[in-house]
Amino acid sequence: MYISKKQSWHIEPPWGLLNDPNGLIWYKGNYHVFFQWNRFAKDHSNKAWGWCVSSDFVHWQFRGSALLPDQPYDAQGVYSGSAMEINGRLCLYYTGNVKQNGCRTSSQCLAISEDGLHFQKQGPLITTPSGYTEHVRDPKVMAAPNGGYWMVLGAQQRNGFGAVLLYTSKDGFQWTPYGTVGLSQEYQMIECPDLFVLGEKKVLLYCPQYRDNATDSALNSFSAYKVLDDQPDAMPQQTDLDIDWQRLDEGFDFYAPQTFLTPDGRRVLLGWMSRMEGEEETAFAEKEPRVHCLTMPRELLLQGNRLCQRPVKELRQLSGTLVPANKTQVNESFYHLTTRAFRFTLENLDFCEHLCLTLHDGEWRFEYDVSSHQAQVCRRRWIDSGEDLRSIFLPELTGLELWCDQSSVELFLNNGEFVFSARICPTAAHPSLRAVGISGEISAQLMLLPENLYQYLPKEEETP
């Protein structure tokens, strides 16, 4: 029996391929989440901006595409970018990607909406500066602490190494190069940077990428962050991108995160929930109309120099059906589930010796061993019968939250101090959770989430 991978509460397109979240913003009463979308095929060509909206972070509506690759300056892709409200207008900044006869050109472009419904392209604002290859992309614009705007860009220098560029602007239209705020001598490219102030600190998110410069092809990449030493309201100082970074996510599937501010001042992050290699991606999507989804929205908080991620309170406050556990043995609980969309919480884990959570007969497993302080996640692979494994050293486990959808798991340890995100391939006919190592002092709760919080309302002309 084939089990569909269609998610019920994560953002994903009705068909085609999704990658990075783009243009996250609260505008005129709605959260707008755009994303890289190939609406024609489950591959990485033809990138447009797909679009969905929500007023509450819980119920989402898909609105089709907002920006198509239909101009000479973006014909081979409306690549990643960000959003900013300026004088009541919604400004979308993106990279126009052009490839002709194997030759790439990039420019940073603007599209404007007066109403949050219709978008007018304004053309390129920034072309590639000297000293850089055409790998300059992913403009992230923020309101500068003392007025005006800053834009960070991922880039590759002519010496073949990655950098983060900064531009400044008074009005969001005219941009002046400021210089580099991050340099690498290890990675050949930096993608999707984000810069923001959280509390009293500046934080830089970025995706270091190894590339084979001889063939101009991507090798592998991951999502990192650095808490900077600068004063929050001063111009950013140059930072070494190769040292003192931390991983944003310890799991298998997480990349290209972007953050934005909610009207009540929370810094919220969404990421692309994939790091699949080509073969894995093809196999995962084989019987599906679509491939890939975004992560759930997560609020960011700083604890010292550690970025913690917590599911937004709107999702935490959702009420659903509580599922009682069957005690199969002392210390062992078994939950029969009627859906794969649920949330499981454990508190007071200080009392546990060895904890093991197994989802759906072994599609995914988490283990924590108190004596070795190892926290480990295993996921069954779908291209062969093996398992993928990720582990971290965790001195103490105090609590955890597991947020599951039809084909994904997001695990938050110690109030979001560490997160493991993963897509899983559903194979078990009867979804279940087995929890071993839960003694009487530990409090456990399993709640089913309402189904189909995410709705597709595609425009007719976008039917494939």
Note the residues at the interface with ligand FRU (CB under 6 A): 19-20, 36, 47, 79-80, 95, 137-138, 191-192, 255-256
Nearer to ligand FRU, 165 or 394 (CB): 165
Nearer to ligand FRU, 50 or 437 (CB): 50
Whole-number Å distance between alpha carbons of 69 and 39: 11
Backbone region of residue 266 per phi and psi (left: phi > 0; alpha: psi in -120 to 50; beta: other values): beta
φ and ψ at residue 299, rounded to 5 degrees: -80, 140
Nearer to ligand FRU, 47 or 340 (CB): 47
Nearer to ligand FRU, 134 or 191 (CB): 191
Min dist CB 107 to ligand FRU, Å, is 13
Angle among Cα 218, 11, 4 to the nearest 5 degrees reads 90
Min dist CB 435 to ligand FRU, Å, is 35
Min dist CB 298 to ligand FRU, Å, is 18
Nearer to ligand FRU, 258 or 414 (CB): 258
* Sheet of strand 332-336: strand arrangement: 326-329, 332-336, 432-436, 354-359, 364-369, 374-380, 387-393
Min dist CB 249 to ligand FRU, Å, is 14
Show the 3-state SS of 112-160: EECCCCCCEEEEEEEECCCCEEEEEEEEEEEECCCCCEEEEEEEEECCC
Min dist CB 15 to ligand FRU, Å, is 17
Return the sign of the alpha-carbon dihedral for residues 221, 224, 229, 233.
positive
Answer whether 273's CB lies under 8 Å from 254's CB.
Answer: yes
Answer whether 62's CB lies under 8 Å from 456's CB.
Answer: yes
Out of 20, 74, 249, 253, pick the active-site residue. 20
Nearer to ligand FRU, 14 or 271 (CB): 271
Amino acid at 390: R
Q: Name the β-bridge partners of 106.
A: 97
Min dist CB 88 to ligand FRU, Å, is 28
Active site residue 361: no
Min dist CB 337 to ligand FRU, Å, is 33
The encoded tokens of residue 454 equal 């995410």
Min dist CB 274 to ligand FRU, Å, is 9
Nearer to ligand FRU, 193 or 416 (CB): 193
Answer whether 243's CB lies under 8 Å from 185's CB.
Answer: no
Nearer to ligand FRU, 216 or 332 (CB): 216
Catalytic site residues? Answer: 20
